[in-house]
Structure 1
Amino acid sequence: MVGFAEEGELNRLESQVDNGGGGAWEYLSLVRKLKVRRSEKVLKHGLSILNDPKSRSKLGPDEWTLYEQVAIAAMDCHKLDIAKDCVQTLSKRFPGSTRIGKLEGMWLEAKGSWAEAEKAYSRLLEDNPLDPIIHKRRVAVAKAQGNVSGAIELLNKYLEVFMADHDAWRELAEIYVSLQMYKQSAFCYEELILGQPSVPLYHIAYAEVLYTLGGLENLNTAKKYYASTIELSGGKNTRALFGICLCSTAISQLTKGRNREERESTDLQSLAATALLKEYKQKAPAKLPSLSSVLKSIKLPF
């Protein structure tokens, strides 16, 4: 995640370069360091350096890094001729390079040559079976062709080896949700929470999957994870507050006559509803009547 100070410096440099104040290389270097994709700017300012022999010669070995950066930006902008020129330049300079091989595969993806891209990645994996980027590119190829089952199979095989890859678990979880395979998605979020227990996003995503699955046990667990989301986000997660309200209402409907469980749900409902009203009063007072109507519709005490 990019911090406020880093983002501020990036924006400052971008404005400076855009207005002819120089610093294009510093800007491009910061874009790489922060791993952000400002492709149109990268393409524009990167080409301005590559097309100027004097500026390019000052880069030394970093010239090839810039060619790679511009190639990826050109693919993002669908300037495939520019991307092809950059990739070919790099291929001549580094023949047989796995890193350049990945770029060639990405260029094939960009122009929609899926079968060729898959063959290119498969060849690379023969010599580099544990390269995570190549495995992920194969997943991207499968998804781009609408082959969701193939993407799931590839991700599961990948995660058998790279079990600590949180991005891959999240990708798999989201694919399962899109297919309404909620139990499988819940398993993925459990893995994410085990690996990164302090990330609120995983807690709320897990809670929402459990709420969707329904049933008393899942609803009680969902309520706990909505509550942990609120705790991790300093009490300011509106989605989680609504989630607690909805879970508590559903639990109350399932536990009529069980005084203790019903009372606990009602107490938590009241706290969440009060917090929501306070938040809306401070940030969106014009929407307070709508919120009150929603809370009444799910029979919340407030």
Structure 2
Amino acid sequence: MASLLHPPAHLTPAEALSLSQRAPAVLKSLPSSVGASALASLASPIESPEVWLSYENLLISCLRTGDLESAQECIRRLVQRFGDENDRVMALQGLVKEAEANDDKALEAVLKSYDDILAKDATNVPIHKRRVALLRSTGKTAEAVTGLIALLDFSPTDAEAWAELADVYLEQGLYAQSIYALEEVLVLSPNAWNIHARLGEIEYMAASTSAGGSDAATQKYAAESLKRFCRSIELCDDYLRGFYGLKLVTSFVLKNSGKWSKQKNDANSEDFTLPDNATVERLAQLATGKLSEIVRRYTVKEAHWSGYDEAEIAAARELLFGETAAVVR
């Protein structure tokens, strides 16, 4: 039951399936109606926020595993409590309809229903986000970008929307636009170490892509990537993705720095310049040592070192093994 209160996106497929399989028993255990009087409603356990969060998370897990019957029961109870005009409930109803759709025509009907809702209330944020998600899933990328920009026009402090826009731009290889959107996320959440690392990843991609182009562009992206990864591990000193990215970008810099023309240090420039090779080498050693420690402690199942993603551990192990093999050769 504890997983009912966890963000459903963080559940593994196996956990989501397990939760969905328990859905009938869970639904029986949860209260399903509001008290007859206002006083009774206030005292009722159904008014606990955890109850409604449980319904929402269970609904999403059921949709992930195709249990439409249980999902429909969850949405029925949410509608009974909050009404079908509630913004969040409307979005969840739309999500259920998307799952029920059997063809493109049915999905187009759902999309039209979102458009109709937004025609009446253009500030319905949950519906805006469901509409964008549906547009992306059906390959209508340009319309998804337009929808996100429309959302951000009236809600410029929505970090989730900026992050989604960054992801859409990245899919199209528009690195500069994606970086700009993620920088807006950092304006809103300056201490989000995962966003610093994500920005570092995109800047590393941009540096790698522009490696055959101008030295200035490549160095700028590499320098910014290095800065972002350093900031991410400064904020979270056991962050695997941060150290993994730092290892990648330092290797990239050390491999290519001999080919690049020397950067000019301009005191009036806001651009971050690359440090000298000795500093980059020390950062590479730091990243190697920390990645080795994380992999070792995770592998032997030390207490408090089990929260990493298995795929990320495997990637770190492969990166370290590849470097060792190259040195041996």
What's the TM-score once normalised by structure 2's chain length? 0.65
Which string of whole-angstrom CA distances, capped at 9 and with x for unpartnered residues, describes residues 66-86 of structure 1?
766654443232122443455
Q: Which residue of 2 aligns with 1:129?
A: 122
Q: Which residue of 2 aligns with 1:102?
A: 91
- Is 1:291 aligned with 2:263? no
Residue 165 and residue 57 in structure 1: after superposition, are their counterparts in 2 closer, same or farther (change >3 A)? closer
Q: Which residue of 1 aligns with 2:25?
A: 48
Q: How does 1:14-93 map to 2 (within 5 A)?
A: 14=1, 27=2, 31-32=4-5, 34-36=6-8, 39-48=16-25, 50=27, 56=31, 60=35, 62=46, 65=52, 70-84=58-72, 87=75
Q: Which residue of 2 aligns with 1:232?
A: 235
Q: How far apart are residue 98 of structure 1 and its match?
A: 3.4
Q: Which residue of 2 aligns with 1:111?
A: 100
What is the rounded CA distance, in whole Å, between the counterparts of 1:188 and 1:115 in structure 2? 29
What is the rounded CA distance, in whole Å, between the counterparts of 1:218 and 1:102 in structure 2? 38
- Is 1:242 aligned with 2:219? no
**Greater relative CO (CA pairs within 8 A, separation 6+):** 2
- Unpaired runs of 5+ residues, structure 2, are 36-40, 208-216, 266-271, 297-316
From 150, 162, 166, the counterpart of 1:157: 150
Which string of whole-angstrom CA distances, capped at 9 and with x for unpartnered residues, describes residues 118-153 of structure 1?
122223224432221111010111112111111111
Q: How does 1:134-283 map to 2 (within 5 A)?
A: 134-214=127-207, 215=217, 216-234=219-237, 237-255=243-261, 264-279=275-290, 282=293
Q: How far apart are residue 103 of structure 1 and its match?
A: 3.4
Q: Which residue of 1 aligns with 2:312?
A: none
- Calculate the aligned-residue CA RMSD, in Å: 3.9
What is the rounded CA distance, in whole Å, between the counterparts of 1:175 and 1:290 in structure 2? 32
CA contact (8 A) 1:186 1:206 kept: yes
Q: How far apart are residue 105 of structure 1 and its match?
A: 1.7
Residue 294 and residue 243 in structure 1: after superposition, are their counterparts in 2 closer, same or farther (change >3 A)? farther
SS of the residue corresponding to residue 190 of structure 2 reads: coil
What's the TM-score once normalised by structure 1's chain length? 0.70
**Counterpart residue type for residue 4 of structure 2:** V
What is the rounded CA distance, in whole Å, between the counterparts of 1:73 and 1:207 in structure 2? 32
- Equivalenced residue count is 266
Residue 119 and residue 275 in structure 1: after superposition, are their counterparts in 2 closer, same or farther (change >3 A)? same
**Counterpart residue type for residue 285 of structure 2:** T
**Counterpart residue type for residue 278 of structure 1:** G
**Counterpart residue type for residue 105 of structure 1:** G
What is the rounded CA distance, in whole Å, between the counterparts of 2:83 and 2:288 in structure 1? 63
Q: Which residue of 1 aligns with 2:308?
A: none
Q: How far apart are residue 56 of structure 1 and its match?
A: 4.8
Q: Percent identity?
A: 21
SS of the residue corresponding to residue 146 of structure 1 reads: coil
- Unpaired runs of 5+ residues, structure 1, are 1-13, 15-26, 298-302
Bigger Rg over Cα: 1
Residue 178 and residue 296 in structure 1: after superposition, are their counterparts in 2 closer, same or farther (change >3 A)? farther
CA contact (8 A) 1:273 1:295 kept: no
